[in-house]
Structure formats: structure tokens, C-alpha cells
Amino acid sequence: MPKLTINGTEIEVNSGLTVLQACEHAGIEIPRFCYHERLSIAGNCRMCLVHMERAPKPVASCAMPVGDGMVIETDTPEVRKMRRGVMEFLLINHPLDCPICDQGGECDLQDQAMGYGTDRSRYSENKRAVKDKNLGPLIKTIMTRCIHCTRCIRFATEVAGVPELGATGRGENTEVGTYVEKTLTSELSGNMIDLCPVGALTSKPYAFTARPWELKKTESIDVMDALGSNIRVDTRGAEVMRVLPRLNEDVNEEWISDKARFACDGLKRQRLDQPYVRRDGKLQPATWDEAFAAIAEKIKQSAPKKIAAVAGDLADCESMMALKDLMEALGSSNTDCRQDGARLDPRCRAGYLFNSTISGIDGADACLIIGANPRIEAPVLNARLRKRSIRGNFPVALLGGVGDANTDLTYDYEYLGADAGTLQALADGKHPFAKVLKKAEKAMLIVGQGALIGPDGAKTLSAARAVVEACGMIDDKIGWNGFNVLHTAAARVGGLDIGFVPGQGGLDVEGILDGAGNGNLDMVYLLGADEIDMTRLGDAFVVYQGHHGDNGAHRANVVLPGAAYTEKNATYVNTEGRVQRTQLATFPPGDAREDWAIIRALSAVLGHPLGYDDLSQIRGRLVFANPGFLNPDEAAPAAWGEFGDPLTSGGAPGNGAALMSPIDNFYMTDPISRASATMARCMEMISGSEQDKTGTDG
């Protein structure tokens, strides 16, 4: 480990670090614009210049590796003069429009100029003007402000894996753009806004709507996918103004998907803000007492076996726990949280978790993906896979999941087709990729929901387990479990953890739909379940509890307005089994209430009052149901055990079409994103319909 002296203090650091990193290790701030710890080194802003003993000229600390015996000075008069000169140079063409810049108050350039710049400029000539670029409906460009730090270019190329940005020209005529004007197609493009240090890239939907000092900031969790990305929700009054990422190295690093960032405008559209009861064929406004009375009357007329409940993809653990307890009190075991019909086995927790953990991808050395398209199902996780892939020695194979071998996952992979029978060949060691998996020390297998949906889902799950065991992808000595399930629903793991599945003799989602359609079920309770086929519910009495007027509300006989994820203190469990909690950022609109509280109030009307009255009590109930809820923010390993259908275990799944990813539209997967005008504009741009419009199209 090299030893070096920084500002008169000798420190010892790991070899391979740069001088800039060594300075930060010593607690010394070095200004920078182009350098970012998650991007390759560019060394083109020169703001990080420092003085090194015996060096003929100042050195760029971001690009200089540490060496033993180095003597670095970071705060000499010479260094301060250099920084002022560089800052003056960078600001030559910057418009200095801080009062009207949407990044004002959060701009790195402002901070650096105040801390290291000078109060005047010697430049008196005309400043350059650069035409703004149209990068789509998410990113607003003011390219005159651009200082060519290339952070956006490096992010698009290295992290997102979509090399659509580049630089043309030389010197001050350099321009950053897409060469041919087009919409950015990355599902992670919004992160460029956070990376831009000078306000050249800002949020187009958020532009000029609020200032940072007007906003209340609440730390929370994203529910647009099952990753559980850590986010910050910024609100003004009762409105969510924007969503930004929070740093969590184990989950999302510092990135979030575009849907997580920009779908928040859907929170104020098509909201349910009061109960409704269907009278004379139409949903009409009602009071809570009237809505509860209508439900109670129907339940009194129905046998317990003729009542069922389905939990949707955005349901929190507290509400699912309350609904499960209520259904048990009524005597019904017809409950299911797998509204897509995925054949997940709740008996063994390791059988439905991402056991390798998200951060564990960094240490893997082979990967087999089955029935999933990670790029659209979990873009941030896909960026992890890409990061591991570009390091090398990481063979990836894909079975199903995408339409063909030409689908761009942003990294190289071997396409094994869509024949589920290939799993049997892998388990038997007859497929060439089986040798790759056996040779790897930490091999991964990722099963997507597309492989588990349909009648052959249980067979596929059993076959995937057989592959893992045959290829030695579980090693207790090094604490590695390579069996992973990639969920698409934020509620799914939590629902399985608390046992929101059919009880003894109970019906699953498919049985509930069949029963409602043929008249064997009288009542179906939908807890935010909007993705099922509503036409199959027949004449059943439907209670819908949710926060948006989506598919479920249109079919319902009674509508109970619930709270969205930004409007409640709720618990979610991500795809790796990590318990995380949202925080109330703003209150639900109108008469809407937290979901568990609605079910608790309904239980009292039905004569089966639940045994908890506040949030701490129901969270105690969660811990009683599953002790794992006692340890939030921890992805505890799950014991390997039996799962899958023993009758079909080892049997070859037959339906290859079932291996296709269930998501074909990244931007609209849930009631919130479907209500978002921003996501609708993204769909228009991606589909090309925007290109066909004329000047008369509004």
C-alpha cells in the first residue's frame, strides 16, 4: 500500500487509487466537473488540478494514480490561481443565467464557482450560442450551458449501454448531441439530469414548476418494479413535484429508472377520492357507511367459500396482512397475491427470492436468464448485469424472455431460443452452456415471471431448480446461492412472505376467475388488482380498493379509495427479500385512506374486528406472521428447501411460448404509470407516432 503526503500529512491508501480519491480519503475536497466515481475517467475539465512535488506542471488528480512517496499540495497560492483560471475559462461561454435556470440552487457549477472561482472575468467578447437538442419528452436541453464534461455521454455508453450521445466538432465548437436528432431510448436516461453539473440537461416535465427550497423532501421506496429502488419524494403542499434517487449501494446504487422518476405525475390524475357504489348500473358517489353497508349485505348473503380476495402488484404488506386476516375471520381461504398466475411456491422462501442479491451480481462469473427481459422488467438491475459484463469473464445466456436473438439487452449474450425443453438438456449436462455453468465458481440463474406464468409454470420452476442443483450453483462454503427469481411486482415477495396465498382447499387466481365466471363465487375483493381479466369475473359482486380509477374500478360494484405509495407509511419487500418502508410524503386526496385502515374499519362493520388499531400494532402482526419483517433494510439469506410441484419435478416443460417476458410496454405497467401524461408522451415518441404529426396536431 503506497504512502503519500497530502498537505503535510502522510497517509496510506490502497494501490490503484487516484490522487483525487486519496485526497478524499484524507478528508480534502477536490473540485471537479468531469470526474464521477461510477464513470470512466475523462480528465477534460482540469478543475481538479493539484501541485505534485517534482512535477513539471500541475497534474489532473482524477487521472493520476497514487505512487509511493508522492507529495501533493492542494491549497497553495499556485493551485488556487490555477483553479480560478480554469473556472474563468469554463465560464467563458456559459450564459450565467442562474436566476432563470431550473437547476438554480442545486447546481454544482454555482457551488464550485463560489468556492474556487473568482468574482470577475477578463472575457469581453461575444459568447457562443448553441442550438438546443431535442432528446425526447424527458430531458430538456440548454446546450449553451454545456462545458463538455461528457458525463452524459459516458453514462449513456457505459452504464445505460445505449451509445446514442456523442460529441461533434472541436474546441469551443464542440457540441454534445445525438448526431441525428432522435429520442433517447434508454430506460435510465433521466439519470443524466442528476449527472449534469451545469444545468445543460434538466427535467422537462419538472421544468419551471418549483424551486428546491420550496419542496419538502421525504425518503421513500419506489414501487414501479420489484427492485425497491431507494428514492426521495419532493412535494409542495399536497402535490408530488418530482422523484429523485437516493444512494443505496446494495440496491440501486444512485440510479433509478425513468418510470420511477417521471411517472409521479400519474399520482394526481384519475384518482379515487371518495367511495362509490354501483346503483342502476352506474357507479355513484357514496359515504363510507353506505359503501361498507353494501359490502356487509353481500357478505351476509354469501357462504364463506364463495368469497375471494386478490392482491395487486402495488399492495403494501400491511394491507395484505389485514385483508388476509379478514378473509380468515370470514372463513374463506380463497386468497392470492399472484394476480398474473405465476406458479411460485410459497413453501420455500429461497424458491421465490433473488438469492444472489442485487449487489451479488458484481461477484458472479456466469449467468443464465430464463423467461425474462431485465432491461424492461428491472432497468437498474440490468445496468448491474451490464457493469459486470463489461468487466469481462461473464458469459450470459438467455432462454426465452425476448422475441429473438437481436433484442438489445445492452450487453452480449448467447440466445438459447424459447424452447423450455432446453432446461432439461441443461440439467442433464447435454447442453454446451451447462459446462460453462459448472465451471463457474459463482454462477447465476435468473427466472423471470414469463417462465412461471401459464400451465407449465410449475414445471419450469422445477426444471430451473434442477439446473441449479445439477450445475453446482449453490455453495454453502462461500455463502453463494445462484437461484434467483426476478419479480416484476413490488407486492409479490411481501405477499408470499405473509402467506397471502390459497389456504387449505382455497382457490388461486385462475380458480377465482373461473369460479366468478361460472357463478361459484359471489364476491371478489380486489386489493389494487388491475391486471387480471375483468371480463372473467362474470356477475360476481366486485369490491375494488385502490388509488386510481383503473381497470378494477371500472368493473367494481363498490369502490373504496386507498392511498398511493407516496401517501402512506407502508412496508414492501423487494425481489431479493429486503424489507423496506415508504414514508408518508403527502396525504391521500379527499376521503381516501390508508389501505390497512380501510380494511380494519370494514372488519368492525362485518362483526369481525381485527386485533390492531394503529401502525405499530399491525407491524407487530407482520413480525408474528414472518419474523423477517423485524429486520428492515436487510436481505437475509433463505434456507434452501423443497419447492416446485413434486409431481412434475424433473419433467420437461412443454410450452415454449410461456417463456416470453410478460412486459412488452415498459412505460405503462400499473395504474400510476398508465395515468401519467409523461409516460404517454414517451410511448408516442418511442412508437413513432409523434414523428407523424403535423403542425396542426395541437
Grid coordinates of 355 = 438469492
Residue 144 is predicted with a pLDDT of 92
Residue 690 is predicted with a pLDDT of 47
Residue 687 is predicted with a pLDDT of 73
Grid coordinates of 583 = 414514508
* Secondary structure (3-state) at 142: coil
User: What is the DSSP code string of 601-644?
Assistant: HHHHHTT---S--SHHHHHHHHHHH-GGGGSTT----------S
Residues of the chain scoring pLDDT < 50: 647-650, 655, 689-692, 694-695, 698
User: What is the DSSP code string of 524-540?
Assistant: EEEES--SS-GGGGTT-
Give the closest residue to 360 by CA, choosing from 384, 327, 392.
384
Give the closest residue to 658 by CA, choosing from 310, 344, 372.
372
Check if the beta carbon of residue 337 is closer than 8 Å to that of residue 309.
no
**Helix H segments across 444-550?**
457-470, 492-498, 509-517
CA–CA distance, 94 with 145 (Å, rounded to integer): 5
Give the closest residue to 641 by CA, choosing from 521, 397, 469, 417.
469
State the pairing for strand pair 523-527/307-311.
parallel
Residue 688 is predicted with a pLDDT of 66
DSSP symbol at 134 = -
Residue 403 is predicted with a pLDDT of 74
Q: What are phi and psi of 492, to 5 degrees?
A: -65, -50
Residue 1 is predicted with a pLDDT of 86
Residue 399 is predicted with a pLDDT of 93
Radius of gyration of the chain (CA): 28
CA–CA distance, 41 with 33 (Å, rounded to integer): 11
State the pairing for strand pair 396-399/414-415.
parallel
Residue 123 is predicted with a pLDDT of 86
